[in-house]
Chain A
Amino acid sequence: MRKPIHITAPWSTPEEVKKRYPVSKASEKAIQLLVEEFKAQLSRQNESASTSIEPEKRRKRASAA
């Protein structure tokens, strides 16, 4: 079994990432919006996942009692 290469270099800061990947102002703005949209999408997914789990939890609790 191969061992993966373990990366020990610290995570880049947002400033380092900006410098490393220069983009136009229009792209800069679009990326900000996309990141916000992605975060919102994730939070909606998490919410719906937790609400769909709730009835199951309630059923288990009821049967345990």
Chain B
Amino acid sequence: MPPLPDPKGVFLNIPYDQEFFSLYVAYVVGLCQLDLVPHLASEIPGGDRRLTRIFKLIQGCRYSIHDLSRVEVSVAPTAVPRFNMPLELGMTITWQKLHPSRHDWFVWESEPYRIQRSASDLNGTDPYIHDGTVEGVLREVRNAFSRNSAPTVPQMFDVYRFVNSNFDAILSRNGTRNPFDRSVFMELCRLSNDLAGPFRQSKPANKP
């Protein structure tokens, strides 16, 4: 049996491509603002095959977000449907069915009711609809998770804009153009978390 999952860990099952970039940043900023710990498959180095690494990550996280908004066939010449996200969702559902107290998963979509056509076996699952926008992702992060003294959605959006305007510098500091690179991801998480500080209202001290 693997060790207990990180109670703040969130496995992010999202497409790794340029078109998803702004939503990826929104997910990371939103989760870090709530002091949750996002995890990407790309962050684990090592010799294990990719599927094994992904399964270990899922097991290590208390929560997972599965964004099925990009399951459509791409317009590229070699157009193929994107199966990775549904595959990882299936692995997660199995893990959660076997160990219900260790994991909760959420499905996210950009359009309401589409999931009933793309994955009708998920009927009865209430997806979070982000409308394909940054604001939508931040709003749904706050709808999915709550905590005392957490920043509001407009405050999260302020942080998103600031991070986004500095993203090129993050890439160049880490010597890459890949926004999903491990070092870029680490810096993105760290910056998003540190920028949340001014918005986290400190609790009043307990009176003796």
Question: Chain A: residues with CB nearer than 8 A to chain B?
Answer: 2, 4-9, 11-12, 14, 17-18, 20-24, 26-27, 30-31, 34-35, 38-39, 41-42
Contacts of A27 in B (CB 8 A): 170, 173-174, 187, 190
Q: A22-B186, A31-B190 are in contact. List 5 more A-B contacts (CB 8 A).
A: A4-B143, A5-B63, A21-B189, A21-B193, A35-B194
Interface of B is mostly: helix
Contacts of A8 in B (CB 8 A): 147
Q: Is the beta-carbon distance between A6 and B146 smaller than 8 angstroms? A: yes
Q: Is B85 an interface residue (CB 8 A)?
A: no
1/0 per position for B165-208, CB-CB distance to A under 8 A?
A: 01001100110000000010011011101110110100000000
CA distance A16 to B142 in the complex (A): 23
- The interface stretch among B30-38, B67-75, B108-116 is B30-38
Q: Is the beta-carbon distance between A34 and B35 smaller than 8 angstroms? A: no
Q: Is the beta-carbon distance between A31 and B145 smaller than 8 angstroms? A: no
Most buried by B among A14, A20, A26, A27: A27
Question: Chain B: residues with CB nearer than 8 A to chain A?
Answer: 7-8, 34-37, 63, 104, 126, 142-147, 149, 158-159, 162, 166, 169-170, 173-174, 183, 186-187, 189-191, 193-195, 197-198, 200
Q: Is the beta-carbon distance between A35 and B7 smaller than 8 angstroms? A: no
CA distance A46 to B146 in the complex (A): 26
Q: State which of B34, B36, B198 has its C-beta within 8 Å of the C-beta of A42.
A: B198
Q: Is the beta-carbon distance between B198 and A39 smaller than 8 angstroms? A: yes
Q: Is the beta-carbon distance between B195 and A35 smaller than 8 angstroms? A: yes
Contacts of A41 in B (CB 8 A): 162
Q: Is the beta-carbon distance between B190 and A7 smaller than 8 angstroms? A: no
Contacts A20-B37, A38-B198 given; does A5 touch B146 at CB 8 Å: yes
Instruction: Please give the distance in Å from A12's CB to the nearest CB on chain B.
Output: 5
Q: State which of B183, B194, B200 has its C-beta within 8 Å of the C-beta of A11.
A: B200
Instruction: Please give the distance in Å from B68's CB to the nearest CB on chain A.
Output: 17
CA distance A30 to B147 in the complex (A): 29
Q: Is the beta-carbon distance between B144 and A4 smaller than 8 angstroms? A: yes
Contacts of B186 in A (CB 8 A): 21-23
CA distance A27 to B198 in the complex (A): 20
Which residue of chain A lies nearest to B128 when distances are taken between CB atoms in the complex? A2
Instruction: Please give the distance in Å from A8's CB to the nearest CB on chain B.
Output: 8
